Amino acid sequence: MTLTELRYVVTLAQCQHFGQAAEVCNVSQPTLSIAVKKLESELGVDLFERSKNNVRATPVGEQVIRQSQRVLEEASSIKDIAKLGMNQLNTPLHIGAIFTIGPYLFPHFIKPLQKSAPDMHLVIEEGYTSGLRKRLRNGEVDVILVSLPFTEPDVVVQPLYEEEFVVLLPKGHSLSKNHAVASHDLDNENVLLMGEGHCFRDQVFQILPNINKNKSESALIRTMTEGSSLETLCHMVSSGLGITVLPKSAAVGAIERSNELVIKPFHDFTPTRTTAMAWRASFPRHKAIDTLRQAINISKLPGISGNK
């Protein structure tokens, strides 16, 4: 039994497909399949039920997979402990951020962070909250930047700042003449949204539960034009396909690049989201975490209403 074999079975359980699991593990499908079969033979039990189109963990397999996940997490902690004796600001820091935070926050804090820790190389990536959660637990990233609420066992979560939501409109839109926009003003508008899987999409629906409920022809267009990124939504609004709700940092960046767009705040309430950083409780490089937090706190990100 090896850590590699345990990683294969955990990944296979997550993907439920040999080909996809092999791709995630960066090995060939036969290599992964043989390794899983070898572990099953060693344990004397079948860990997975296999069919033509699906792979599903058996009841005993589910128990083995849960324990394997714990073993992999503990093994990752060994690497973290070994780093404790190193200069905490002299080894790479791997930072992940969700898609609606990374592009707007990274450019603002990277320079202050490099100035305070010039020898700490940065590895940055973007992803969905669910994917970053797994990568954090597996030790594949050191710290992630996410939107609250976010909870995970054995993970420290620290709020950083609040950011307000605003409405992004084309200049010629009727609502662009208003000083501010009421939430009910959006009830009959074509509000462009992020695609499924983005937590920001869910946050917009939480604060504006009545949007996009009409059955007009624009609703058919809306379904086809849901954006995969905030930048896509900005371009759609600029093209006159609708309006959207954005974090202020993204909206400010959009109007700086296009004079065809305007930002309007809400006047009946001020919706916000809280950005937080999260890291494993076992992560030993506390100085690196503190340095990152300080760099974010002094960055001048538009829309930040106050550091936590």
The predicted pLDDT at position 3 comes to: 92
The predicted pLDDT at position 86 comes to: 63
The predicted pLDDT at position 223 comes to: 46
β-strand 55-57 against 48-50: which pairing, if any? antiparallel
Residue written as tokens 């590699």?
A: 4
CB atoms within 10 A of CB 57: 19
Contact in structure between 263 and 251 (CB atoms under 8 Å): yes
Cite the beta strand spans of 99-173 per DSSP E: 122-127, 143-147, 155-170
- Please list, in sequence order, all residues whose beta carbon lies within 8 angstroms of the beta carbon of residue 124, skipping any fewer than 6 positions away: 94, 95, 96, 97, 102, 106, 110
3-state DSSP helix/strand/coil percent for the chain, to nearest 5? 45, 20, 30
Residue pLDDT, tens place only, 223-266: 445 667 888 888 888 888 889 999 998 898 888 888 889 999 99
In order of their start, the domains of the chain are 3-83 (1.10.10.10), 93-161+272-307 (3.40.190.10), 163-264 (3.40.190.10)
Sorting pLDDT into bands at 50, 70 and 90, what band is 135? Answer: very high
With pLDDT > 90 as the criterion, what percentage of the chain qualifies? 55
Burial class of residue 163, CB neighbours in 10 A (0-12, 13-18, 19+) = buried
Q: What is the mean pLDDT of the chain?
A: 87
Range with the poorest average pLDDT among 24-28, 134-138, 227-231:
227-231
Q: Which of 76, 75, 66 is nearest to 142 (CA)?
A: 76
